[in-house]
Amino acid sequence: MAATAIGLDIGTSNIKVVELRWRGQKLQLLSGASVQTQIEVLDNGELADVEQVGRVLGELFRMVGLRKRPLIVGITAENVIIRRLRMPVMPEEELREALRWEAKKFVPFNVNDINDVVVDYIPIMDVDTGFVKTHQELFVVAVARKCIESYVSALSHTGLNPDVIDVSVLAPPQALPRVATTCYMDIGRGCTGIVIVSDFGVQVVRTLPWGSERFTRLLAQSLDMSLSGAEEYKRDKLELLEESGEDSSSLRSIEGLNELLYELSDEILQTVKYYRSRRHEDVSSTDVKEIILSGGGSQIKGLSSWLARSLSIPVTLGDPFVDIEIPDSTDFREELFYSAPIYTCAVGLAKRGLDLTTKRGRYS
Ligand SMILES: Nc1ncnc2c1ncn2[C@@H]1O[C@H](COP(=O)(O)OP(=O)(O)OP(=O)(O)O)[C@@H](O)[C@H]1O
Ligand SMILES: [Mg+2]
């Protein structure tokens, strides 16, 4: 049977699901859908209302008639702490134990017992210097155990069990093709993930505790609208640039909009500068060559051009379906025409599921 996998991205405003399979050498979409919702998470990342999320998941799975495995579930970056650490080289088991204690120092939620935190890590590949290494660089990923349990419990309402719980913030590099060192920015409702990937794998991971909802709130305030009116305005009417590339009249007249955009571009710039500061080699060929946007918040019209102008780095809107065959029969086609970027993490997670079944590397 062909390898098949499901990516499920549980975001705070949309839950997205994508089912992929290999068809010969080509990836094919089997099904995909999303449901809009409002998920609230507690301080430790636990779902505030497990039953509500369970109901929404049930609705989503009924829509697409899910049946295949493995199921890779991505949880929103708001719930996950990722830190880059330098550790002495040591055997795998000792390293895992040491990282659990390291994680205890930086998790913001209250931890009485180290077993309350689930800790994993991603190694960072080094440039090979030819010397025996005494230290290694890695990303430590820490999530409150209660958070994971609440996701598993919500899924159990649908009769499904996740095979892997992953973090959505790491999924865009897997979903979107890369030709050189690339900065991925996924703008969700409540948070924004920034990941830089070079030929040596993931180099920087950052999550900003704000996302596209800040634009909605700003529009509501500046234009004296309800939040739902501002949401509609943001999707349908807001256009940042004129065709000539000049600032649009909205951009010139909406108070605070320029500042918010500069805040966003400054976060990217700081992340790129941080990446540059960590590089051992000094060759421009490994510098960030492109920024790829994804997530619903990337769809503000003119955002990629505005950022490219501000940062002087090419910025594109990611299309996670670019190398995926979409059967003519699927109703999903039209949905994709309008909102492909919101499925980026779900596609990345499904691809990871396929990698697991075909035993390929994570960022191959
Ligand atoms: N066409 C559009 N134009 C502008 N903004 C949009 C558009 N479509 C969706 N959005 C915004 O994108 C956000 C939802 O995107 P997405 O589904 O990626 O978020 P999420 O994954 O649920 O959130 P998070 O990752 O923060 O938990 C909302 O804030 C919404 O306002
Ligand atoms: Mg998201």
What number does the ligand 1 atom closest to the CA of 9 have? Answer: 21
Closest CA to 349 of 164, 159, 201: 164
Phi/psi for 140 (5° steps) reads -100, 130
pLDDT band at 325 (very low <50, low <70, confident <90, very high): very high
* This prediction's pTM: 0.93
Which amino acid makes up residue 75? I
131 Cα: distance to centroid of ligand 2 (angstroms): 40
- Of 41, 151, 187, 212, best ligand 1 pocket probe by most atoms within 8 Å of the beta carbon: 212
264 Cα: distance to centroid of ligand 1 (angstroms): 15
341 Cα: distance to centroid of ligand 1 (angstroms): 9
More confident residue, 278 or 13: 13
For 207, the enclosing helix (H) or strand (E) is: strand 201-208
324 token code pair: 């995926």
pLDDT band at 349 (very low <50, low <70, confident <90, very high): very high
Q: 147-176 burial by CB neighbour count: b if 16+ within 10 A, else e?
A: bbebbebbbebbebebeebbbbbbbbbbbb
State whether residue 107 is helix, strand or coil.
coil
34 token code pair: 């999303």
The pLDDT, as a whole number, for residue 250 is: 93
Counting ligands in written order, the one closest to the CA of 188 is: 1
320 Cα: distance to centroid of ligand 2 (angstroms): 14
Instruction: State what percent of residues in the chain have pLDDT above 90.
Output: 64
Pick the CATH number of 177-318 from 3.30.420.40, 2.170.190.11, 3.40.50.2300, 3.50.50.60: 3.30.420.40
The pLDDT, as a whole number, for residue 360 is: 45
Q: How far apart are CA 132 and CA 309, in angstroms?
A: 44
Cβ atoms of 169 and 204 within 8 Å: the answer is no
Cβ atoms of 184 and 172 within 8 Å: the answer is yes
* pLDDT at residue 83 is higher than 60: yes
The pLDDT, as a whole number, for residue 94 is: 94
- Of 9, 12, 13, best ligand 1 pocket probe by most atoms within 8 Å of the beta carbon: 13
Counting ligands in written order, the one closest to the CA of 303 is: 1
* pLDDT at residue 1 is higher than 60: no
- Say which range, 39-53, 59-73, 294-308, 339-353, has the weakest mean pLDDT: 59-73
More confident residue, 112 or 198: 198
- Per-residue pLDDT tens over the stretch 109-133: 666 777 888 999 988 876 655 666 7
DSSP state letter for 299: G
More confident residue, 284 or 302: 302
Please enumerate in sequence order all residues whose Cβ is within 8 A of that of 314, keeping only pairs 6 or more positions apart, or say none.
Answer: 289, 290, 291, 308
- Per-residue pLDDT tens over the stretch 137-174: 899 999 888 899 999 999 998 888 888 999 899 999 99
Cβ atoms of 4 and 21 within 8 Å: the answer is yes
Nearest CA, atom 21, ligand 1: 11
pLDDT band at 361 (very low <50, low <70, confident <90, very high): very low
4 Cα: distance to centroid of ligand 2 (angstroms): 23
Cβ atoms of 307 and 291 within 8 Å: the answer is yes
Q: Looking at residues 58-86, what average pLDDT do you find?
A: 84
pLDDT band at 272 (very low <50, low <70, confident <90, very high): very high
Q: Looking at residues 176-187, what average pLDDT do you find?
A: 95
Give the CA angle between residues 3, 72, 112 to the nearest 5°: 150
Domain ranges of the chain: 177-318
Closest CA to 12 of 217, 171, 206, 192: 192
Counting ligands in written order, the one closest to the CA of 239 is: 1
* pLDDT at residue 362 is higher than 60: no
Query: What value does the CA radius of gyration of the chain take, rounded to a whole number of Å?
Result: 20
Place of tokens 């349908």: 236
Q: How far apart are CA 108 and CA 81, in angstroms?
A: 8
Give the CA angle between residues 73, 36, 183 to the nearest 5°: 55
The pLDDT, as a whole number, for residue 115 is: 81
State whether residue 78 is helix, strand or coil.
helix
* pLDDT at residue 195 is higher than 50: yes
